[in-house]
Amino acid sequence: MKVLFLLPALIATALSASAMQGGEVFDRLDLEGRGLEKVKSAVAAGDTARAAVELLGYYRSRKGIALTGFDLDRVKLSDNERRMADEALDHKFFVHYGYQPSFFYGNDIDWTYWPVKDNELRWQLHRHKWFIALAKAYKTTGDGKYARAWFEQYADWMDKNPLDAALFRRKTEGAGDGTSEAAAAQEEARRAFIENMNFAWRPLETSHRLQEQLPIFAMMINSPDFTPEFLVRFLDKYQMHAEHIMRNFSVQGNHLLFEAQRLAFAGIYFPEFRGAQEWLERGIEILNEQIGKQVYADGMQFELDFGYHMAAIEIFLKALRMASANGVRDAFPPSYIATVERMIELVWNVTFPDGTQPLFGDHKATDREEMLKKFREWEQTFPKNRQIAWFASGGRRGERPPYLSHAFRTSGFYILRNGWEANSTVMVVKAGPPAFWHNQPDNGTFELWRMGRNFFPDSGCYVYSGDDKVQAEREWFRQTRVHNTLTLDGANIATDSKLICWADDGKSEVLVTSNPSCPGLTHTRTVFFVEGEFFVIVDRAEGDATGNVALHYGLCPCQPKVDLANAAIETIFADGNNIRMQLFASQPCTMEAVEGWFSPSYRSKMKRPAFSFGCSKQGAAPVEFVTVIAPGGMTGKISASLAEDRVKVSVGRRKYELAMP
């Protein structure tokens, strides 16, 4: 979710943080705890150097606190992490997927270097993703160069990225000679300082570091290069991170969940801090409160993005596991656990049998391995759930869901399916309420997966936010008209769909949703899943609005056979898994090929065939379209016509009359 810069608030917090920095870290530790006796007596004697040595000894031998999700005895270094670690030695930092090879940040690291004005590239530099790779490389190879790289780079980061407006003032006070040039230079320096602070100390990035520094600390603490002085500095900064989050929680959404869970981890892992209990309690309190607010009754997280939905599941479960392993599971009521289980049920419904999912909103491609891993993790928490076991085992244990098609009525996801296996046909339709930044104006759109092929993948998102160039790239992929739905004059639609009908007559299923797409134009989409075999979509554009009404369809990357004059398209994959589609309308329409892109992951995109089919709507009379999408095996001429209460469809010699609900 997009977080606006809140300059005055951050400066105010920075000032209080700087006041905090004055004291020694020992003042902020509760030295009454077991094992800290020697630290306490050294502090009492005024010997903070000895206290730091004793404190390092304490942390090197500390036992009894579990860091769930991390096993110090089984650290593995993936090939990708090894590359990240090795590149980091040369100050080539892995900041974000989509920006490889990694950029060089200078021998004297420039933490404000911003080679592409994508905000994520600037923010996520401060997540220090390569630090965990350095720690793992050190732990698995024992080579001190990886550890030393972390000490040097993190110390450098601490030096150059203070959360401290007062320090900035001290540095620049009296620097000018009173000329307007000096004043302008000082103003520019002030602006740059605040800009950097906003990136480096955005609460989400701060929480990311708060979390990652726990396993890093565990892997590094026994390094001979881990000095008592560094420990004091590390802890001082760690506490500042936690307190900064306590004062600057994001307003809502996944950011707030991440921050709360990570703060709870900090509270559990470093109970020596006087504030630790408060961090833990506040973190858990927020999670308990937000799970009720952010998760709809049907189990979907309210940002309506499957990626962030799964991230929310991970957050809730991480907190639960960490609390359970450290004796505070009772902090989460049974309703919390039941909600997470509902969230997982939504996931298996919207996941195609090959582990991929619709890329609605800002979601990025998933695959079978990734999803199997997730279900196996979820099975640990829900061992009695037969469906989770089925998905976790690739169908070898447990039971498949006792239903096929399924509706998530609050969030507006509707799944039409004829099976759960690799030879099934599955359509996921999106027609929900308004949501947030990661959601797109795409109501009515769908993805159609059949026997291992997604014939209508969503365009994806490509990129998040940044300067005008980056923003324009994002906007292209967000547009309504690059989704499988209807527009007026190509404009983006409003999204607030209502479910009109969800019915099954024993042979065919029908879904009707209605969306107030534009002022004066309502889009009602009726989807028939006929005999579990093919789809008939009836679109009705209704209202006073006039202009060009058009339907849009984007196919998977392929070279289809296209007959624009008859609005007929057919894929011709050699494996025989194909679709045939044809469009019809209540008045003369034109079909044209349009620009089409498919982006499965950040900053990657490929061309794909896309089409629009439309006409001019001249008065209050509605425009109606019928789209028939049949499997390639259904041969013969396709025709369709719409009467008052039914749609007549024929494919070859097969004829259907579908009653409009």
Nearest distance, CB of residue 458 and Ca ion, angstroms: 4
615 and 587 Cβ atoms separated by less than 8 Å? yes
Nearer to Ca ion, 223 or 459 (CB): 459
- Name the residue with tokens 């619709």: 358
> Catalytic: 308?
yes
For residue 514, how many other CB atoms are within 10 A of its CB? 21
Nearest distance, CB of residue 250 and Ca ion, angstroms: 24
Could you tell me which residues are beta bridge partners of residue 375? Answer: none
Nearer to Ca ion, 381 or 497 (CB): 497
Nearest distance, CB of residue 440 and Ca ion, angstroms: 5
555 and 531 Cβ atoms separated by less than 8 Å? no
Nearer to Ca ion, 314 or 458 (CB): 458
Cα–Cα distance measured from residue 329 to residue 257, given in angstroms and rounded to the nearest whole number: 18
Cα–Cα distance measured from residue 351 to residue 497, given in angstroms and rounded to the nearest whole number: 22
Nearest distance, CB of residue 492 and Ca ion, angstroms: 12
Nearest distance, CB of residue 385 and Ca ion, angstroms: 31
Nearest distance, CB of residue 472 and Ca ion, angstroms: 16
The DSSP annotation for 198-212 comes to: HHHT-HHHHHHHHHH
Nearer to Ca ion, 440 or 524 (CB): 440
Nearest distance, CB of residue 442 and Ca ion, angstroms: 5
525 and 617 Cβ atoms separated by less than 8 Å? no
State which residue has the least CB distance to Ca ion: 458
Cα–Cα distance measured from residue 412 to residue 426, given in angstroms and rounded to the nearest whole number: 16
Give the C-alpha distances (Å, rounded to integers) separating 149 from 200, 227, 279, 305, 545: 20, 14, 30, 37, 63
Nearer to Ca ion, 405 or 459 (CB): 459
650 and 656 Cβ atoms separated by less than 8 Å? yes
The contacts of residue 133 (CB under 8 Å, 6+ apart) are 77, 81, 82, 84, 85, 88, 94
Secondary structure of the chain: what % helix, strand, coil (to 5)? 40, 20, 40
Q: Is 98 helix (H, G, I), strand (E, B) or coil?
A: coil
Nearer to Ca ion, 209 or 478 (CB): 478
Give exposure, 322-339, as e/b (b: 16+ Cβ within 10 Å): bbbebebeebbeeebbeb
Peptide bond into 162 cis (omega under 30): no
Nearest distance, CB of residue 601 and Ca ion, angstroms: 13
Please give the backbone phi and psi of residue 397, each rounded to the nearest 5 degrees, phi first. -130, 170
Sign of the Cα pseudo-torsion (455, 456, 460, 462, in order): positive
Nearer to Ca ion, 270 or 360 (CB): 360
Cα–Cα distance measured from residue 213 to residue 209, given in angstroms and rounded to the nearest whole number: 6
Catalytic residue among 58, 99, 105, 308: 308
**Binding positions for Ca ion, rule: CB under 5 A:** 440, 458-459
Please name the helix (run of DSSP H) or strand (run of DSSP E) that holds residue 233, with its range, or none: helix 228-247
421, 296, 287, 292: which is closest to 346 by C-alpha? Answer: 296
- Give the catalytic positions in this structure: 308
